[in-house]
Structure 1
Amino acid sequence: MSDETLTIGVLPLGRPTFDIGFAEEMLSGMLEDLGACGHRLVGPGTLLMDAASTEAAMAQIEAAQPDRILILQVTFTDAAMTCRIAEVFDQPLAIWAVPEPRLGGRLRLNAFCGLNLASHALGLRGRLFSWRYAAPGSPGRENLFGETPMVSPLVAQASQADPASGKALLDRLRGKSIARIGAHPDGFDTCAYDSGRLAALTGLTVTGFDLSELFSRAHAAPAAAAGDLRCAVEGTVSGLDEVDQGELDRSLRLKLALDGMKAEGGFDAFAIRCWPETFTDYGGAVCGPASMMGEARVPCACEADVYGAATQLLLQAASDQPVFLVDLVDMDAADNTGVVWHCGQAPVSMADPDAAARATLHTNRKMPLLFEFPLKPGTVTFTRLSQAHGRQSLVIARGEMLKREMAFTGTSGVVHFERPAEEMLGRVIDSGLEHHMALAYGDHVAALESFAAAAGLPVVHL
């Protein structure tokens, strides 16, 4: 127990599309831990699922004149309410996110990704905070209550590489184009962009479309073409007969729509607002089509992440192979590994050859088509054209994908990074890194460093 009794305003954030029973179990453990610290806790003690309930809880806490504000990141959430909390309260701020076991099933909480989005959004606003990524019952909870924030923003360093080969990479990007389909979701500052700034950096151009354009093209796609595509996919993954056939047809038609937009517009990559509207308004997932497009060297970024699509084009040029835009969803100091994941859209050439790729459903929205497999072992390079803390930089990391059982459903892989996992975890949060990184097999660090030198970009080595 601390010598000083503090009033802690506690705001437990969650979303109903995750495993709420498990989330409530985690929340109960977190509150029990906090209660054992001897501080006065104020707040609802229940999951806050929307803006209205969070605003009401904030008013309750504000009236109690708290000494500290603690956000419990129990499931994934976007950063909108975190930023609202940071705006209302100027008291020291902390965020506690919880890990979940790697059991091969769905991401039940995905809380780390919520912490990741929050760190980026708060970094853009210059708001420092303390944080914790640990299960209830783990030591170290008192670190959340200090006056001095734990975040120490990383400083990007000028690249010392020879820019000569990097200039060739930069020239390969110039003149390429990205189709942005729909706007990025609210609270995803990680996916915001300025087309002029991106063009000045890379020479890439961006053309915007409404989601209705994609959906209308998909509905109009010939039935015969959709049937032919289904036959082609049957040769790549198993289990197509086990999913809803109407939803499968709609999903495949999204691939045909993207093909048509590429043929007409000459686009080299796409940044697509993939949820919720592809499910709620259209009725099929774009994840499987994104995998197929990526395999064909036309990368697709989720959540209309234009800089993510640009990063994929860069790493594809550096590696001369398909790339995969991943979320980092777990870091385990005891195992000294992390997990990278996305719903089910990795290029199938990245599948572990000992684990057959299968057709599956989106874990939250329960619609096809997604692909499911663990990533194959081998050396991997990660990178991100980043706008963390409002400054453009190139973030680079290297690691070894391990031969492991599937950590979570969809497409995922267990990575041993060059730095110890605990140090890597701290650097990800301190950097304010966006939640999407591009992954390619092989060691491409030297090429990326040379690109950074040619583009005048400082480098952050995670």
Structure 2
Amino acid sequence: MSGKASVAERRIGILPLARATFDVAFAEQKLAAMLAALDAAGLQVTGTRHLLFDADATRIAIEGLRGQEITDLLVLQVTFTDAAMVVEAANAFDVPLALWSVPEPRLGGRLRLNAFCGLNLAAHALGLAGREFGYLHAAPDAAGTEAALVELLSGRRVSRDVEPRSATSDDPRGVAAAEAIRGARIARVGHYPDGFPTCAYDAGRIGELAGVRVDELDLGELFARAGSVDAAQLADVRGAAENVLTGLDAVDQQQLERSLRLKPAIEALRREGNYDAFAIRCWPETFTEYGGAVCGPVSMMGEARVPCACEADVYGALSALLLQKVADAPAFLTDLVDIDPRDDTGVVWHCGQAPVSMADPEAPPQATIHTNRRLPLLFEFPLKPGRVTFFRISQARGRTVAVIGGGEMLKRPMAFTGTSGVVRFDTPARDLLDRIMGAALEHHLALAYGDHRDALGAAAKCFGIPVLDL
């Protein structure tokens, strides 16, 4: 980006993106601090200075920037959003593009913003589109943020692609696992959400990879099956939940029953279709149309070694299935929701669906409700300390690679409600951020306890795909 005007001379158009299902008041505080940091850095900023919650409002803001002769576009990722509007904004302007997300305190309460996950989703979509972008994940009031903003808008924080390496391992566990999932059957129940290219799949490519067959089922079929669950089945699943959870009586019992019915419904689909794994559209319809969360049943299915990926993520389901085979233990499909270079840690989280065997033995699992949608059943506990492995068969930047990483789950207080854990990755946190953004990876990674990197490398070799090391 040589030859550009100085940062102070540039005219930066901003788009502050947010979603109303998160903590709006907190997001407004963060936006005010972000705007103050931009002003304090001496940057010329134009555009909307309030949160944009939906596509219509964002499109109006984009139109407003068209006549401003902006030299740069800066997306303020204040909360989680899908990637649709970031891509639309990127296509609207032929100027350098940058993304800025903000961390939030790890206080054990709800995930109030989930902004990093929005950054991750946007980066993946831009990588698929071949669009260069800069990125920053930093608190607006942290020391050094003003200088980092100047670097960001000077083109010195641009994503750099990561070159995968050839898979060389011959670990027999990986070879056996690769053979075990050849011909696997996955049920995709419902379509992945709009703006989630991270969860898209190509039937031909996934079939060529490992002979995997994907059947596309309607979400309404799952709901209908749940409605036909009889009293004996419901009693069995309630009893199973009571064996591992406290607090079931504290949630709404009618909503709890609806949630619990989803587990025998998934099991019935599994038996009839001989499915090895599921990719289920979990929101918003399970909440808005059905009236109960699928998260708790997904946790129970995962413990029974039937991976169920949320957001209809087919490659996520396949990744969890392979990792489960290698580890001979349950796998958990998780989001990476924070990276803190100062602490050299990250936080992995999902709303409440980790297999219960992953719970810290000193923190008994509890029944809870979804923090945004306010319905049960979710499992809540911090992940136990120990060695962990991360894995995903990725389609980032339009190529198939095996993403493999490792780390140590630390003995820390629960970072956020649901199921979460604080990880010290093998790669320093700052470098990990650069690798995730550079490779433009998906926002879901499968996690299992133990060190299985060599075995996963051998499985990748069997499939003829390279390895991208986290």
Q: Structure 1 stretch 282-291 or stretch 450-459: which is displaced more?
A: 450-459
Residue 270, structure 1, aligned to residue 250, structure 2? no
Question: For residues 351 and 39 of structure 1, what CA distance do their matches in structure 2 show?
Answer: 46
Question: For residues 175 and 169 of structure 1, what CA distance do their matches in structure 2 show?
Answer: 12
**Aligned counterpart, 1:448:** 456
Cα distance, 1:8 vs. partner? 0.7
Q: Which of residues 89, 103, 107 is equivalent to 2:107?
A: 103
**Aligned counterpart, 1:407:** 415
**Aligned counterpart, 2:442:** 434
Paired letter, 2:203: S
Distance 1:226 1:117, change over 3 A: same
Q: Which of residues 210, 234, 237 is equivalent to 1:226?
A: 234
What are the Cα deviations for residues 406-462 of structure 1, in whole angstroms up to 9, with x where unaligned?
000000000011111111111111111100000000000010111111111111001
**Aligned counterpart, 1:247:** 255
Question: For residues 164 and 418 of structure 1, what CA distance do their matches in structure 2 show?
Answer: 24
Question: For residues 86 and 360 of structure 1, what CA distance do their matches in structure 2 show?
Answer: 39
Contact 2:151 2:157 in 1 (8 A): no
SS in structure 1 of the partner of residue 178 of structure 2? helix
**Aligned counterpart, 1:159:** 167
Residue 389, structure 1, aligned to residue 393, structure 2? no
**Aligned counterpart, 1:24:** 28
**Aligned counterpart, 1:40:** 44
Contact 2:226 2:264 in 1 (8 A): yes
Question: For residues 42 and 174 of structure 2, what CA distance do their matches in structure 1 show?
Answer: 56
Paired letter, 1:131: Y
What are the Cα deviations for residues 55-79 of structure 1, in whole angstroms up to 9, with x where unaligned?
1111111110101000000000000
Contact 1:385 1:392 in 2 (8 A): yes
What are the equivalent positions in structure 2 for 1:290-439 lying under 5 Å apart?
290-439=298-447
Question: For residues 93 and 228 of structure 1, what CA distance do their matches in structure 2 show?
Answer: 53
SS in structure 2 of the partner of residue 440 of structure 1? strand
Contact 2:401 2:466 in 1 (8 A): yes
Contact 1:80 1:186 in 2 (8 A): yes
Q: CA RMSD in A?
A: 1.3
Distance 1:3 1:24, change over 3 A: closer
Structure 1 residue runs without a partner (length 5+): none
Structure 2 residue runs without a partner (length 5+): 1-5
Question: For residues 103 and 151 of structure 1, what CA distance do their matches in structure 2 show?
Answer: 30
Question: For residues 301 and 441 of structure 1, what CA distance do their matches in structure 2 show?
Answer: 18
What are the Cα deviations for residues 324-376 of structure 1, in whole angstroms up to 9, with x where unaligned?
00000001111111000000000000000000000000010000000000000
What are the equivalent positions in structure 2 for 1:182-221 lying under 5 Å apart?
182-221=190-229
SS in structure 2 of the partner of residue 152 of structure 1? coil
Contact 2:187 2:279 in 1 (8 A): yes
Cα distance, 1:165 vs. partner? 5.2
Question: For residues 66 and 383 of structure 1, what CA distance do their matches in structure 2 show?
Answer: 40
SS in structure 2 of the partner of residue 396 of structure 1? strand
Q: Structure 1 stretch 174-183 or stretch 275-284: which is displaced more?
A: 174-183
Residue 142, structure 1, aligned to residue 144, structure 2? no
Question: For residues 94 and 83 of structure 1, what CA distance do their matches in structure 2 show?
Answer: 12
Contact 2:192 2:281 in 1 (8 A): yes
Residue 261, structure 1, aligned to residue 266, structure 2? no
Paired letter, 1:151: S
Residue 61, structure 1, aligned to residue 69, structure 2? no
Question: For residues 308 and 277 of structure 2, what CA distance do their matches in structure 1 show?
Answer: 6
Contact 1:272 1:300 in 2 (8 A): yes
Contact 1:388 1:434 in 2 (8 A): yes
Question: For residues 3 and 294 of structure 1, what CA distance do their matches in structure 2 show?
Answer: 50
TM-score normalised to the size of structure 2?
0.97
Q: Which of residues 88, 94, 97 is equivalent to 1:90?
A: 94
Cα distance, 1:147 vs. partner? 4.2
Contact 1:167 1:455 in 2 (8 A): no
Cα distance, 1:119 vs. partner? 0.7
**Aligned counterpart, 2:126:** 122
Q: Percent identity?
A: 58
**Aligned counterpart, 2:14:** 10
Which runs of 4 or more aligned residues in structure 1 lie more than 4 Å from their structure 2 counterparts after TM superposition? none
What are the Cα deviations for residues 162-202 of structure 1, in whole angstroms up to 9, with x where unaligned?
37654322210112210100000000000000111101101
Question: For residues 410 and 173 of structure 2, what CA distance do their matches in structure 1 show?
Answer: 30
Question: For residues 409 and 219 of structure 2, what CA distance do their matches in structure 1 show?
Answer: 35
Contact 1:373 1:412 in 2 (8 A): yes
Paired letter, 2:17: L
What are the Cα deviations for residues 190-248 of structure 1, in whole angstroms up to 9, with x where unaligned?
00001111011012111110100000000111123212211221111000000000100
Question: For residues 111 and 453 of structure 1, what CA distance do their matches in structure 2 show?
Answer: 35
Paired letter, 2:57: S
TM-score normalised to the size of structure 1?
0.98
**Aligned counterpart, 2:3:** none
Distance 1:301 1:105, change over 3 A: same
Residue 459, structure 1, aligned to residue 467, structure 2? yes
Cα distance, 1:265 vs. partner? 1.1
Paired letter, 1:221: V
SS in structure 1 of the partner of residue 107 of structure 2? coil
